[in-house]
Structure 1
């Protein structure tokens, strides 16, 4: 049975408060300090700068991730993951059949300008 949908919310009070922007992964390395297998991603958000993110996107190889455009939440507080400060949350979805938390990043259908706002 599917999980019921959450209560309806006002888009301006929710999505309007998030700063979700398009970036490109320029580097992906295994992150040994993370509590579970993860990559340290270096992501270029154009005029918003280059940010570090630690994420469980390990179903893909680092080479497959580099060059991918991804969506990241820029205005969440940074959090410490092992020895690394993760500055941005890269959005993803659960990989079917994989361990809990293993994800694949959300990517646009076509390339777009780095730093573009999601709406």
Structure 2
């Protein structure tokens, strides 16, 4: 019987090895700017994240318009996969993927680490 508090969840993906997971480089960073992104296919923001002096500043787009106002995103610490190859999204090169979860109401809830996280910190 489905839980009444949330929609059905996707099925479990195929099993991976620890070595597979170790290849995914997930880091903490601070959102430093958020711009409208009207060229995107779905309502999205163009987001710039600072991952500190070693990894630098990177850009991506995120379909976060239905869950967040631009102003509330700036200064927020997020986690992102930083070792995907660049991907062309509506005319610009996305350099990482900010992670989030389905909030169950059609919005995105961005993942963010807790206390004392520094820019560039590795997520394990």
TM-score range, shorter chain: 0.7 to 0.9
Q: Which residue of 1 aligns with 2:60?
A: 53
- Please give the TM-score of this superposition, normalised by the length of structure 2: 0.84
Structure 1 residue ranges, 4+ long, deviating more than 6 angstroms after superposition = none
Q: Which residue of 2 aligns with 1:88?
A: 96
Q: What's the CA shift for 1:8?
A: 3.8
Residue from 79, 99, 110 that aligns with 2:87: 79
TM-aligned CA distance change 1:80 to 1:39, over 3 Å: same
CA distances 1:71-105 after superposition (whole Å, capped 9, x unpaired): 1111111111112211110011113121xxx4221
Q: Which residue of 2 aligns with 1:113?
A: 118
CA distances 1:3-53 after superposition (whole Å, capped 9, x unpaired): 543344322x22200111110000011111111100000000002000001
Unaligned regions of 5+ residues in structure 2, if any?
A: 3-8
Unaligned regions of 5+ residues in structure 1, if any?
A: none
Report the 3-state secondary structure (helix = DSSP H, G, I; strand = E; otherwise coil) of the residue aligned with 2:79: strand
- Please give the TM-score of this superposition, normalised by the length of structure 1: 0.88
User: Which structure has the larger Rg?
Assistant: 2
| Matches of 1:4 and 1:44, distance apart in 2 | 34
| Matches of 1:76 and 1:32, distance apart in 2 | 24
The count of residues paired between Structure 1 and Structure 2 equals 115
**Native 8 Å contact 1:69 1:111 kept in 2:** no
